[in-house]
Amino acid sequence: MKSLTALAISIPVLGVIATYLALGPLSGVYLIWAAFIFWGAFFAFGADIAALQKIIVCGIFGALLAWLVALAVLTVPLTPSLGLPLWAALAVGAGVAVAVLAANISALAAIPATVLGIASSFAYLLQTPEVLKADVLMSMTLKNSLIVIPLSVVAGSFFGLLSAKWGAAMTKAA
């Protein structure tokens, strides 16, 4: 069987399972849209164990940076003097600078995966009512972006690995 044909079976079938789990029994444990982002990243980064390691480590690092930036914006009292748009922009700029400088560490060198973690975190924080609050960010709940985004990163990355392995197995069987 051709590789694309095999992937046209493994990815949709596992996509059905991932979606069912995210919307059903594991609802709130991981976000299906974020999982699909990292599933795609797995293939973009090479669809191998090295890709898995890069996107998990850097995706979670990005989620941590976004969490720190969000917490700083909410708790450091610069909004009254700078205004929220400028203070948030400066904080995001600082976070992105840290992401780029951290790429000097080989484990954190996959800057695009880090950016995907940052973007996924801010998408969640800015689009989900009642989660961009200091008390939520400091909580040990699945509403905390520092918990739910890394779980989504890992879920999507492993679904990517499973779909690639299953696709490869079907290719070899032909």
Residue 71 makes CB contacts below 8 A (sequence gap 6+) with 134, 137, 138
Q: What is the pLDDT of residues 8-63, one digit of tens each?
A: 999 999 999 999 999 999 999 999 999 999 999 999 999 999 999 999 999 999 99
Reported for 45-51, long-range contacts at CB under 8 A and 24+ positions apart, including other chains, are 45/110, 45/113, 47/160, 47/164, 48/164, 49/161, 51/160
Q: What is the pLDDT of residues 100-143, one digit of tens each?
A: 999 999 999 999 999 999 999 999 999 999 999 999 999 999 99
Contact (CB, 8 A) for 173 and 1: yes
- What was the pLDDT predicted at 172? 77
Angle at 150 (CA atoms; ends 60, 7), nearest 5 degrees: 95
**Residues spanned by the domain of 35:** 3-173
The whole-number average pLDDT for the span 88-107 is: 98
- Report whether pLDDT(152) > 90: yes
- What was the pLDDT predicted at 95? 97
Extract the tokens encoding 138. 């400091």
Which residue in 137, 140, 97, 92 sits closest to 119, CA to CA? 92
- Report whether pLDDT(174) > 70: no
Number of domains in the chain: 1
- What was the pLDDT predicted at 157? 98
- Report whether pLDDT(96) > 70: yes
**pTM listed for this prediction:** 0.94
- What was the pLDDT predicted at 173? 52
